[in-house]
Structure 1
């Protein structure tokens, strides 16, 4: 039986759709995670980052979004901490969502004090211990934070699946 290969354009149309995000994970000099409170949805805590624009790589997205959301011009090298997969969420988000979390390194007190938030995206920022973050974050989002923090400390990237994106 001979195989018939589809032209690339037709084949790609048969594949699952996905969107992608990228962000930078920072801690302060005491190793406490730095996060931003989103104005969207439930006001979840998140890292500087966002959805990829057409033509961008994940790394370019993380650096651009960090600058736009915090004023921090990150000039470090890309070091991946995690790949993150979220399944489609019906009509609310009908595509897979794939994330790339990069190590942003350490922010000193002056850099943290100089953060300028985009008020259309975030209402505040905080630097807290993991125990403090656990008390104010949803279990699902804290699970992701704890794995990213561990990946940073241990120097080994992780793969996460956290269910549907919404």
Structure 2
């Protein structure tokens, strides 16, 4: 298995897992590799260090493994890779725990607010004007970015 550091034309960094270099090249040529944030298919491979499994002692082998990895930004502001990962996890949680009502969002939210239908967690589409009107009516809404990769498992 080959793990590559990739980046789209919009400078979003992400990992790609491939069976081999040829597998990566083939998928890239067929437009199958895309950015999980913006869907861009103009992907380039970034430099990365190989992972070496060197154990100096038994104590090192028993040490807990970090569950999150982020790129260093050399002390220049927030670590963007770590923030990107947190945002993606949060958005995936929202998608997993809400019902997509699509264009019916405003009417469904109003109906729940007025007790006409059972309350449940929903997400959907609303214009900025509709969202403002909902908030003015005392209905809590939050704007979410539209990220294509959020609804799919990344590989």
More strand by share: 1
Shared fold (TM-score, shorter chain, > 0.5): no
Higher relative CO (Cα under 8 Å, sequence separation at least 6) belongs to: 1
Please state which band the TM-score falls in when normalised by the shorter chain.
under 0.3
- TM-score calculated relative to the size of structure 2: 0.26
- TM-score calculated relative to the size of structure 1: 0.25
More helix by share: 2
Q: Which structure would you say has the larger Rg?
A: 2
